[in-house]
Amino acid sequence: MKILFLLLSLSLTTASAQSNVKNLLTHGGTQQIRQAARIMTSGEQNTPENSLLLAAIITKEFESAPLSRIDALSWGCRALAATGNSQYKPLLEKIYQSKVAHKKLRKYAKKAYQQLATIKPNSSTDMGSTSLPINLPPNISQGPIPKASLVLGERKLFAIAKGDWPAIKFISQQLVVLEGTDTTLLDALSQFLIEKSVYHLNYEQIDTLAWICRALGQSNNSRYKSLLNTLVKQVNNSKLQRYATLANNKLTTSAKPYVINSINFQEILDEFTQK
């Protein structure tokens, strides 16, 4: 009986892990992404956090994904349409108008775009251009500050000041996917980027900093060009240097650049910890 019980428990645990969309998306494997997208398309676990994670994957890969990955990304487009959120229309439009994306992926992106285009702007299923909620990782909402005492913007700043890498990556991906231009948030990410880039970092940390570079470049805010230019010259990691260069090239020179060390993370921690 004990062996049977252990086998049953293991089976249930495995099944649960295999059906947890966030875990599947975080894993990043082709089969996992396809499974996650199919679950989301059915209407299950199609939360704002999961849809943002999926959109970030599609954004990063839609023009360079190998053939074996196309079906999974196509399901991803269907899942984004199933959110009913018109925020994903620009991304889907960019995919189906792409000259280099795979034909099948363009087809499903166009169908998904057309599905979202039928939703009225004031529909209850459309969360609007600025009010898309985000559920930060549990270690942020359950950190040293009471969850209910801070508004979402403050929680994000606290996450960056605290140096919570998973949350920072998620915040950066959100800015890329939704083309965010929040200067306060981008300033904080810029400071984090320049501070951490001098250290010897692991793959996941480099990937997080690369996402910050993408967010800065996509912001079209020239105040970050000077910082990115500095980063290009001082960083040794080839991947981070590549993304910093791409972001830097997108921006024009500003008369009022972001001044490094303008953001004091300790002050943010002190302020928000007291709330």
Would you state the pLDDT for residue 176? 80
- The string of DSSP letters for 104-117 reads HHHHHHHHHHHHHH
* Contact status, residue 112 vs residue 95, Cβ threshold 8 Å: no
Residue 195 CA to residue 212 CA, distance in Å, equals 13
Would you state the pLDDT for residue 144? 31
Residue 161 CA to residue 168 CA, distance in Å, equals 10
Size of the chain in residues: 275
* Contact status, residue 215 vs residue 180, Cβ threshold 8 Å: yes
Chain-centroid distance of CA 229 in Å reads: 24
* Contact status, residue 248 vs residue 223, Cβ threshold 8 Å: no
Residue 41 CA to residue 25 CA, distance in Å, equals 14
* Contact status, residue 229 vs residue 190, Cβ threshold 8 Å: no
* Contact status, residue 245 vs residue 230, Cβ threshold 8 Å: no
Would you state the pLDDT for residue 19? 62
Would you state the pLDDT for residue 150? 66
84 Ramachandran zone, left/alpha/beta (phi>0; psi -120 to 50): left
In terms of pTM, does the model score above 0.85?
no
Per-residue pLDDT in tens (0 to 9) along the chain, 275 residues: 444 444 334 333 333 444 688 888 888 889 999 999 999 988 888 888 888 889 888 988 898 889 999 999 999 999 999 888 888 888 999 999 999 999 999 999 999 999 988 865 443 344 333 333 334 344 433 333 333 466 777 888 888 998 988 888 888 887 887 777 889 999 999 999 999 998 888 888 998 999 999 999 989 899 999 999 999 998 989 899 999 999 999 998 888 899 999 999 998 888 887 76
Residue 34 CA to residue 126 CA, distance in Å, equals 24
Residue 161 CA to residue 171 CA, distance in Å, equals 13
